[in-house]
């Protein structure tokens, strides 16, 4: 049974949020599914409909919000997955502990050091070849952490504040020193290779305790260990669409306004009567609260636009978020290229 | 700076066992026999049914839903494809079985190749559009600051 025309457009383009579940989730616009529609892949049609809108980028916090319109969920999700797990970064992998008399156990300390984001452009380094224990200048960055806590001779007699009583009792990332290997000193400066944040607390010491540690950083991807993930998080949501089927006025309009997030619904005065109007459905978090009220649930239609993705990327500071998105797209291209090359080389034989 | 190379993906260690030179030295028949025994020295293994090339299962190593789902979408957009699907063999194994069945006589490798090329084209366009938008945004921000 063919669906009525208006319904077809809705099935193709919208994800419906119902009272007890979400409907129309899967992409159905494949060739042959709908009579009268040519859904064959057309690069030109895709390029006409596709657009990217940058909403906001904040360099200091490393956040980027942008919209990708006209693409399918499979590909948008691929970008999100790659941002989380397959864009490479540098992180501490091998920790050589020469002396650790602190209260923090060796392995806990090593684990904490691994999670520290290291500011070094991973595109300038190579992966370490398998079986190589030493590491060369092209694939390794070396840091040293050498700190000893001692009693402060100038402290007043009755003070109980540790910052007054002891010297070097808090070990921060600013105490990590970069040791250049080979010709790294010519290629990079102190500002290029350092931990992203200076004030990450690594361990606490008391007089007589010391740390003497050498760390090797290597290039890796998030799939191997989460410390290599370059994003604090990367996520997307679909653009919500709220449509009022009937006019909602008076007290009901006020109630409707409180069912949605702030700024979504506004009350406007028409001829002395108050009517509800949808102002900005983008701000809504789609809690479906309105569907809980009998008197309101038939007046509103909640849906999401299937091909409009609102991405939010937050970087850990190693690379700026826009560079991360570009790198993620390049990783997907490289994956395709890898299989195309494999196909071509096997055809040759 | 010429000694610094950039690699954006993990090179499979499996490739190290069989270099291109060794492959050329082997005779054609021996090469085909080794492939049929499915010794994993490549990132792509093919399991065809009988002599019919229109129904093929590709085993993609070191891949998951990231490439699997996006590639499946691109290949399904091809009207010549009757069936296209993928699944992971086991959650502990990083490989996927990717099956393509075509209508008529078309060998299944063709939609596979076209899907990869189309996906590559999509990525290229997305990258260009994103970078252009980023550039415009940064310029606008600079103007607003001045």
Instruction: Compute the average pLDDT of residues A212-216.
Output: 97
Using CB atoms and an 8 Å cut-off, which of residues 101-140 of chain B contact chain A? 109, 112-113, 116-127, 129-131, 133-134, 136-137
**pLDDT tens digits, one per residue of A68-113:** 999 999 999 999 999 999 999 999 999 999 999 999 999 999 999 9
Q: What is the ipTM of this complex?
A: 0.92
Contact A349 B31 (CB under 8 A): yes
Instruction: Confirm if A146 and A214 have CB atoms less than 8 A apart.
Output: no
Specify the pLDDT at position A10: 87
Query: Is pLDDT above 60 for A14?
Result: yes
Query: Is pLDDT above 50 for A243?
Result: yes
**pLDDT tens digits, one per residue of B13-43:** 344 444 444 444 444 444 444 344 332 334 6
Instruction: Compute the average pLDDT of residues A214-236.
Output: 96
pLDDT band at B4 (very low <50, low <70, confident <90, very high): very low
Contact B66 A332 (CB under 8 A): yes
Query: Is pLDDT above 90 for B54?
Result: no
Instruction: Compute the average pLDDT of residues B63-68.
Output: 94
Residue ranges covered by each domain of chain A:
7-85+233-245+299-312, 89-228
Flag the least confident range among A22-26, A314-318, B6-10, B13-17. B6-10
Mean pLDDT of chain A: 93
Specify the pLDDT at position B29: 45
Name B100's Cβ contacts closer than 8 Å, sequence gap at least 6. Answer: B55, B56, B58, B75, B81, B83, B84, B108, B111, B112
Q: Is B88 on the interface with A (CB under 8 A)?
A: no
pLDDT band at A3 (very low <50, low <70, confident <90, very high): low
Q: What is the CATH number that goes with domain A89-228?
A: 2.170.120.12
Instruction: Compute the average pLDDT of residues A118-146.
Output: 93
Query: Is pLDDT above 70 for B11?
Result: no
Give pairs for A176-181: CB < 8 Å, separation 24+. Answer: A176/A116, A176/A143, A176/A144, A176/A145, A176/A215, A177/A143, A177/A144, A177/A145, A177/A146, A178/A141, A178/A142, A178/A143, A179/A142, A179/A143, A179/A144, A179/A214, A180/A142, A181/A135, A181/A136, A181/A137, A181/A140, A181/A141, A181/A142
**pLDDT tens digits, one per residue of B89-145:** 999 999 999 999 999 889 999 999 999 999 999 999 999 999 999 999 999 999 998
**Best of B26, B77, B131 to mutate (most A CBs within 10 Å, chain A):** B77
Nearest to A46 among B78, B122, B133 (CB): B122
Length of chain B measured in residues: 146
Closest Cα to residue A207, out of A250, A263, A150?
A: A150
Domains A7-85+233-245+299-312 and A89-228 in one fold: no
Contact B66 A78 (CB under 8 A): yes
| Topology (CATH) of A7-85+233-245+299-312 | Gyrase A; domain 2 (3.30.1360)
Whole-model pTM above 0.90? no
pLDDT band at A2 (very low <50, low <70, confident <90, very high): low
Q: Which DSSP category does A135 fall into?
A: -
Specify the pLDDT at position B31: 41
Higher per-residue pLDDT: A171 or B145 = A171
Specify the pLDDT at position A338: 92
**pLDDT tens digits, one per residue of A21-53:** 999 999 999 998 998 899 999 999 999 999 999
Specify the pLDDT at position B35: 40
In this structure, what token pair is assigned to residue A95?
């920790």
Contact A326 B127 (CB under 8 A): yes
Flag the least confident range among A92-106, A286-300, A328-342, B38-52. B38-52
Q: Which DSSP category does A226 fall into?
A: G
Higher per-residue pLDDT: B79 or B11 = B79
Instruction: Compute the average pLDDT of residues A61-67.
Output: 96
Contact A54 B133 (CB under 8 A): yes
Specify the pLDDT at position A156: 86
Instruction: Confirm if A302 and A242 have CB atoms less than 8 A apart.
Output: yes
Specify the pLDDT at position A4: 66
Nearest to A342 among B43, B77, B118 (CB): B43
Angle, CA A230 vertex, CA A56 and CA A71 arms, to 5°: 55
């Amino acid at each position: 049974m063919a669906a009525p025309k208006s319904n077809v457009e809705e099935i193709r383009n919208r994800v419906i949020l119902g009272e007890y579940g979400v409907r129309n989730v899967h992409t159905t616009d494949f060739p042959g599914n709908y009579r009268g529609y040519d859904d064959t892949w057309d690069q030109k049609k895709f390029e006409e409909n596709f657009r990217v809108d940058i909403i906001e980028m904040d360099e200091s916090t490393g956040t980027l919000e942008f919209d990708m319109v006209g693409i399918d969920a499979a590909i948008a999700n691929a970008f999100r997955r790659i941002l989380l797990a397959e864009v490479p970064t540098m992180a501490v992998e091998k920790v050589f502990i020469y002396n650790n008399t602190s209260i923090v156990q060796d392995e806990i300390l090593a684990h904490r050091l691994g999670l520290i984001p290291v500011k070094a452009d991973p595109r300038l380094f190579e992966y370490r070849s398998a079986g190589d224990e030493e590491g060369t200048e092209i694939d390794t960055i070396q840091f040293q952490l050498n700190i000893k806590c001692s009693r402060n001779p100038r402290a007043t007699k009755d003070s109980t504040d540790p910052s007054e009583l002891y010297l070097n009792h808090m070990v921060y990332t600013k105490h990590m020193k970069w040791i250049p290997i080979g010709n790294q000193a010519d290629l990079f400066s102190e500002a290029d290779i350092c931990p992203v944040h200076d004030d990450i607390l690594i361990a606490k010491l008391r007089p007589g305790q010391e740390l003497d540690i050498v760390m090797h950083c290597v290039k890796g991807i998030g799939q191997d260990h989460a410390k290599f993930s370059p994003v604090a998080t990367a996520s997307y949501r679909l653009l919500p669409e709220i449509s009022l089927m009937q006019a909602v006025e008076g007290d009901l309009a006020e109630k409707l306004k409180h069912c949605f997030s702030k700024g979504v619904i506004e009350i406007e005065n028409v001829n002395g009567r108050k009517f509800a109007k949808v102002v900005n459905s983008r701000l809504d978090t789609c809690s479906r609260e309105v569907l809980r009220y009998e008197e309101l649930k038939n007046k509103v239609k909640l849906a999401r636009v299937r091909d409009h993705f609102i991405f939010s990327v937050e970087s850990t500071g190693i690379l700026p978020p826009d560079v991360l998105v570009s790198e993620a797209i390049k990783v997907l291209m490289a994956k395709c290229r890898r299989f195309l090359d494999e196909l071509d080389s096997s055809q040759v034989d | 700076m010429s000694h610094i190379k950039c690699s954006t993906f993990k090179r499979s260690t499996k490739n190290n066992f069989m270099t291109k030179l060794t492959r050329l030295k082997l005779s054609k028949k021996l090469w085909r026999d080794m492939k049929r025994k499915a010794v994993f020295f490549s990132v792509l293994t093919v399991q065809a049914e009988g002599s019919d090339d229109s129904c093929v299962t590709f085993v993609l190593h070191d891949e998951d839903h990231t490439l699997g789902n996006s590639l499946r979408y691109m290949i399904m957009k091809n009207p010549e494809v009757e069936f296209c699907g993928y699944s992971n063999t086991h959650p502990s194994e990083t490989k996927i079985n990717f099956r393509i069945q075509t209508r008529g006589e078309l060998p299944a490798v063709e939609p596979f190749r076209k899907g990869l090329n189309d996906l590559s084209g999509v990525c290229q366009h997305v990258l260009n559009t994103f970078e252009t938008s980023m550039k415009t945004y940064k310029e606008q921000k600079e103007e607003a600051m001045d």
